[in-house]
Amino acid sequence: MAQLDSKIPPGPLADKWRRHKADMKLVNPANKRKYELIVVGAGLAGASAAATLAELGYQVKNFVFHDSPRRAHSIAAQGGINAAKNYQNDGDSVHRLFYDTIKGGDYRSREANVHRLAEVSVNIIDQCAAQGVPFAREYGGLLANRSFGGAQVSRTFYARGQTGQQLLLGAYSALSRMVGAGGVQLFTQSEMLDLVVVGGQARGIIVRDLVTGGISRHAADAVILATGGYGNVFNLSTYARGSNATAIWRAYKRGACLANPCYTQIHPTCIPVTGDYQSKLTLMSESLRNDGRIWVPKKKEDRLKSPAEVPEADRDYYLERMYPSFGNLAPRDIASRAAKRVCDEGRGAGESGLGVYLDFGDAIKRLGEAGVRERYGNLFDIYHEITNESAYQTPMRIYPAVHYTMGGLWVDYNLMSNLPGLFVLGEANFSDHGANRLGASALMQGLADGYFVIPYTIGDYLATQKPGSRPSTDAPEFKQAEENVRGLVARLLAIKGREPVSHFHKRLGKIMWELCGMARTKAGLEKALKEIPALRGEFWQNVNVPGAGGTLNQSLESAGRVADFLELGELLCLDALEREESCGGHFREEHQYPDGECKRDDEKFAHVAAWEFQGEGKKPLRNTEPLNYEAVKMSVRNYK
Ligand SMILES: Cc1cc2nc3c(=O)[nH]c(=O)nc-3n(C[C@H](O)[C@H](O)[C@H](O)COP(=O)(O)OP(=O)(O)OC[C@H]3O[C@@H](n4cnc5c(N)ncnc54)[C@H](O)[C@@H]3O)c2cc1C
């Protein structure tokens, strides 16, 4: 059974991080040069970590499967990044950001982690502004803010609808500086396919060069995974097509616990699915809900009319009606379920009936078309590119879609997994968002982890490891892990079945969305737990992976990733089945209040579920870490 010690420092909540930093062990500058660190991933979390650790003097090897760190999925982030700067004087504070995040996560995250996140949020903005990130500014020169869901203050910093791209350019510049200075060795188009554990500690990785097919071993004093989220287990999602779970899944199979895999975020404002051959879905940023108003016709018979034909009196602005305090800025889980409810009632817009309107008519009257264009122009362009409709003239049609995974590898307060020496950052860990992430908090967490947390906590760990004590890559554990990878590649190529990889991914996605999506039931999850292993069996009999292993082979890459999704999907459903409550993004139909809101069971489920691999074909072990609330009283979330 895994040891899950959260290592939350003692003392008052607001002092914990400061005191912990003061108490942690240090590595002297001359010794830092003797440690080699592996960072897998160079999205916001990985690039910020690799750059900062190299600036500190560590030798860093940074691996990405992309052809450049600039292609990490972080680049897609549109809306913004939260920070408790209170530039608006609208009552924000570190405490309020902490409180909103805990409440937004439906009381399923750790108080101490979330408080630290709120504290360092202010440093992130300073650091990024100093790097030259072109945040929007007010007329007086201060950085501008807008609102995101689940908050009544404006604390979201943004760079039009391209915040992730601009932040990533900042982190990439910092990383490039260190590549140039020799502190970071960058390996692009290099996919980590196994974690190497020696004597119970993470000591290295096995990597496949995606261009030559070459397989190599890399040893280190510590391994950091910053490999993003696993939402593509649903096939259709707002993630970049390449985002995958392979790094965390293979680490799980080497002993790292996977926490709360069922906590999936379904974002309310995405362009609806249009057909079976679609490969991804597109987000329409939550920032649009600052000015756009969401509605459906009051009467079912109006749902196929053009929106202009539905008079004002016949429109149901259901979020404003149901949640008057937060209105269109209700948190994502709540806004998504409300959209599902009105569509299930038969009032959904469009042919499929799976759509609601996001209407800028009022905003255009108030701000003028130019004003709306200035705030959201690129998002309107994206919408036009995909639908061939102008949202300046007619409301956008949107529907919820998979967008983020709150679950991930379990980490303690120091961001170390239960495997000593394995650290996990950004979306790949489970740390801060509980059962529902608030908008604009993922970028904040990724950069907090990379710029401000890991540089301290990794030193505390390394100080306990003798410099230069990392094993040689000739150690038997490296040999075994490499054979494991070679065996998997050979096995996939040898099947020579009839169906392409995408066939299985689509079918898995359908099972996941229908049985473990926005609403989950015991019967549905039990059905999924039968269908997924059967589909996995079919995959291993009948998948067709053309080409060879010793060359660029994208079918082979995606086959490995889908093989992992076919296992992870099962764990996700098992986690959803065993969590007999509703909380945040995890909505079990059996557990709801009469008005359809989530009914938590704090007595039985106020804990993290951290799953431990027990071997192929064996049921994984469900470990728990209790969640203790001292500063915040657990209550029923109310956004009314
Ligand atoms: C469309 C969209 C818009 C969003 N907008 C916002 C927003 O406005 N605000 C906000 O806070 N959040 C937003 N998010 C969420 C946020 O963008 C992500 O959670 C965040 O960027 C994840 O960053 P990361 O560094 O953890 O991972 P990623 O950016 O996904 O980076 C993962 C890295 O790991 C590498 N990698 C992965 N697996 C391997 C492997 N096996 N071997 C080698 N390398 C590997 C990849 O190459 C990549 O470099 C949005 C998400 C989407 C989908």
Instruction: Give tens-digit pLDDT for 470-517.
Output: 999 999 999 999 999 999 999 999 999 999 999 999 999 999 999 999
Q: How far is the CA of 436 from the centre of ligand 1 (A)?
A: 17
Q: How far is the CA of 237 from the centre of ligand 1 (A)?
A: 13
Q: How far is the CA of 71 from the centre of ligand 1 (A)?
A: 10
Q: How far is the CA of 70 from the centre of ligand 1 (A)?
A: 11
pLDDT of residue 286: 85
Nearest Cα residue to 451 out of 59, 9, 45, 77: 45
Beta bridge partners of 62: 39, 186
pLDDT of residue 318: 97
| pLDDT tens, position by position, 370-394 | 999 988 998 999 999 999 999 999 9
Pairing of strands 190-198, 201-209: antiparallel
Contacts with 560 (C-beta within 8 Å, 6 or more apart), sequence order: 193, 246, 488, 489, 492
| pLDDT tens, position by position, 503-561 | 999 999 999 999 999 999 999 999 999 999 999 999 999 999 999 999 999 999 999 99
**Nearest atom within ligand 1 for CA of residue 443:** 11
Q: How far is the CA of 191 from the centre of ligand 1 (A)?
A: 16
Model confidence at 285, pLDDT cuts 50, 70, 90, reads confident
Best residue among 52, 64, 264 to mutate for probing ligand 1, ranked by most atoms within 8 Å of CB: 64
Average per-residue pLDDT for the chain: 96
* Rounded-to-integer distance, Cα 53 and Cα 39, Å: 10
**Mean of pLDDT values over 560-584:** 98
Best residue among 121, 168, 405, 427 to mutate for probing ligand 1, ranked by most atoms within 8 Å of CB: 427
332 is catalytic: yes
Residue with CA closest to ligand 1 atom 51: 77
| pLDDT tens, position by position, 167-215 | 999 999 999 999 999 999 999 999 999 999 999 999 999 999 999 999 9
Pairing of strands 293-297, 356-359: antiparallel
**Nearest atom within ligand 1 for CA of residue 78:** 8
Write out the DSSP string of 113-124.
HHHHHHHHHHHH
pLDDT of residue 475: 98
Measured in Å, how far apart are the chain's first and last C-alpha atoms? 43
Contact 225, 246 (CB under 8 A): no
**Nearest atom within ligand 1 for CA of residue 44:** 25
Cite the beta strand spans of 248-340 per DSSP E: 258-259, 264-270, 293-297, 315-316
pLDDT at 436 over 90: yes
**Mean of pLDDT values over 457-469:** 95
pLDDT more than 90, % of the chain? 91
Phi, psi at 389, each rounded to 5°: -120, 145
Best residue among 66, 73, 433 to mutate for probing ligand 1, ranked by most atoms within 8 Å of CB: 73
**Mean of pLDDT values over 230-240:** 97
Residue with CA closest to ligand 1 atom 6: 77
**Mean of pLDDT values over 587-611:** 95
Q: Which of 332, 375, 470, 507 is catalytic?
A: 332
Give 248: exposed, middle or buried? Use CB within 10 Å, 0-12, 13-18, 19+. Answer: buried
pLDDT of residue 482: 98
| Global pTM value | 0.97
Show the domains of the chain with their CATH numbers: 13-263+406-462 (3.50.50.60), 268-401 (3.90.700.10), 476-604 (1.20.58.100)
**Nearest atom within ligand 1 for CA of residue 247:** 41
Residue with CA closest to ligand 1 atom 31: 43
pLDDT of residue 394: 96
pLDDT of residue 287: 86
Nearest Cα residue to 190 out of 175, 211, 170: 211
pLDDT more than 70, % of the chain? 100
**Nearest atom within ligand 1 for CA of residue 239:** 53
| pLDDT tens, position by position, 13-66 | 999 999 999 999 999 999 999 999 999 999 999 999 999 999 999 999 999 999
Over the range 107-141, which residues count as b (16 or more CB within 10 Å of their CB) and which as e? bbbbbbbbbbbbbbbeebbebbeeeebebbeeeee
Residue with CA closest to ligand 1 atom 39: 227
Structure tokens belonging to residue 62: 């940074």
Residue with CA closest to ligand 1 atom 53: 239
Ligand 1 is surrounded, with C-beta below 6 A, by 40-46, 63-66, 69, 72-74, 76-81, 163-164, 191-192, 226-229, 238-239, 243, 246-247, 283, 403-404, 426-428, 440-443, 446
Residue with CA closest to ligand 1 atom 19: 442
Q: How far is the CA of 304 from the centre of ligand 1 (A)?
A: 37
pLDDT at 619 over 90: yes
Q: How far is the CA of 364 from the centre of ligand 1 (A)?
A: 33
**Nearest atom within ligand 1 for CA of residue 45:** 25
The DSSP element (H or E) to which 540 belongs, if any, is helix 522-542
pLDDT of residue 54: 98
Q: How far is the CA of 72 from the centre of ligand 1 (A)?
A: 6
